[in-house]
Structure 1
Amino acid sequence: MNYTNQIKPISYLKANAAEVLETLTQSREPLIITQNGEAKAVLQDVASYNETQETMALLKILALGNRDLEEGKIAPANDVFARARNIKE
């Protein structure tokens, strides 16, 4: 992804905060904030942030599942469902 158009100095953010928030909400593209020419922060709208958090949670679940698989911590599905049914009762 190329965000060269989405890089602004902190002075721009200070002077145009309301406009920046409106643009973030509409475009759903992150904005990179620089200070003294160096990238310091990334701003994004709340919906995009929530989607990112959900994606990261799913990736973590997959990684944990892969680790269990590699370590041999697996069981046949029928056994797992049978145990689940017994716990409910």
Structure 2
Amino acid sequence: MKYSTRIKPISYLKANAAEVVRGLAESGEPMIITQNGEATAVIQDIASYEETQETLALLKILALGEQQVREGKTVPAAKAMRRFRDRIKRTRAGE
């Protein structure tokens, strides 16, 4: 994606807010807003924002998993499944 075509001054946003919001939803691409010639903000539609946040959450989970592997904080899959099944049995017994 070329961001150079998605750069607008804040005055454009002020004058065309409704059109900009419609365009964000249709394209799914963010827009960079400048103020005094400097990039100062990025705006995007809510669906794209939510997708980005979900992606970041998954990446954080992956990074945490990699860190735990490096630190030796892992157990064999069979042992993990045993723990999981035992926990389910205890939960059901407490119902």
**Partner Cα distance (1:18, 1:54) in 2:** 27
Alignment correspondent of 1:34: 34
Alignment correspondent of 1:25: 25
Structure (1 or 2) with the larger CA radius of gyration? 2
Alignment correspondent of 2:6: 6
- Per-residue CA deviations over 1:26-68 (Å, capped at 9, x if unaligned) read 0111000000000010000111111101110110010000000
Secondary structure (helix, strand or coil) at the match of 1:74 reads coil
Alignment correspondent of 2:46: 46
Secondary structure (helix, strand or coil) at the match of 2:41 reads strand
**Alignment size in residue pairs:** 89
- 4+ residue segments displaced more than 3 Å: none
Alpha-carbon offset, residue 85 of structure 1: 1.0
Alpha-carbon offset, residue 88 of structure 1: 1.5
One-letter identity of the residue aligned with 1:19: E
Secondary structure (helix, strand or coil) at the match of 1:41 reads strand
Alpha-carbon offset, residue 2 of structure 1: 2.2
Matched, 1:88 2:93: no
> Unmatched 5+ residue regions in structure 2?
90-95
Secondary structure (helix, strand or coil) at the match of 2:39 reads strand
- Per-residue CA deviations over 1:64-87 (Å, capped at 9, x if unaligned) read 000000001110011011111111
